[in-house]
Amino acid sequence: MEIKELGHVVLYVSNLTRMADFYEKTLGFHQIKREWPIALFSSGRTHHELLLIEVGGQPKGPEHAHMMRPGLYHIGFKIGDGPDAAKAVYAELKKNRITIVGATDHVVTHSIYILDPDGNELELYADVSDAWKKDPQAVLAPPKPLQF
């Protein structure tokens, strides 16, 4: 396996308005969509580089992703293009007895979710469609379970 690039970051946040304003107005991210409870951003390099999801509460430190608290949810790493790239990585993960916590067809990507040794969730994805280039909101298509 070879990671091709850092794909995107998804953060659970305590206050969507405050956080989205910061990323857009302070850091200069291009906002694709903001509609509670999400805000989606891209520089145009890829379909999205940052997704914020409001869950309320107070920021806590690093917690397991499924706790739905403000903080890091997962880090996405591009592993290639096309469904065969995702299938190959899935087979490699299984062969190496890496625990897979999920697999999702996001329409524009096929994603495999694993945990690192500290319990941080990582998404290993392959782009399977470039529909997001014409319609940036294509990344918001309803996800489906991915079977290998």
The Cα–Cα gap between 67 and 64 comes to: 6
| Strand-strand pairing, 71-81 and 121-127 | parallel
pLDDT in tens, 41-60: 998 888 899 999 998 887 65
User: What is the model's pLDDT at position 145?
Assistant: 95
Q: What is the pLDDT of residues 84-130, one digit of tens each?
A: 999 999 999 999 989 899 999 999 999 999 888 667 788 999 999 99
Q: What percent of the chain has pLDDT over 90?
A: 56
Supply the DSSP string of 88-112, one letter for each residue.
Answer: HHHHHHHHTTPPEEEEEE-SSEEEE
User: What is the dihedral sign for C-alpha 139, 45, 76, 49?
Assistant: negative
φ, ψ (nearest 5 deg) of residue 91: -60, -40
Q: What pTM, to 2 d.p., does this model score?
A: 0.72
pLDDT tens digits along 16-36: 998 899 889 988 889 999 999
| Cα 78 from Cα 48, distance rounded (Å) | 12
**What domains lie within the chain, and their CATH numbers?**
5-145 (3.10.180.10)
Instruction: Order the strands of the 144-145 sheet from edge to edge.
Output: 30-35, 38-42, 50-54, 5-13, 71-81, 121-127, 109-115, 100-105, 144-145
Residue 139 CA, chain-centre distance (Å), reads 10
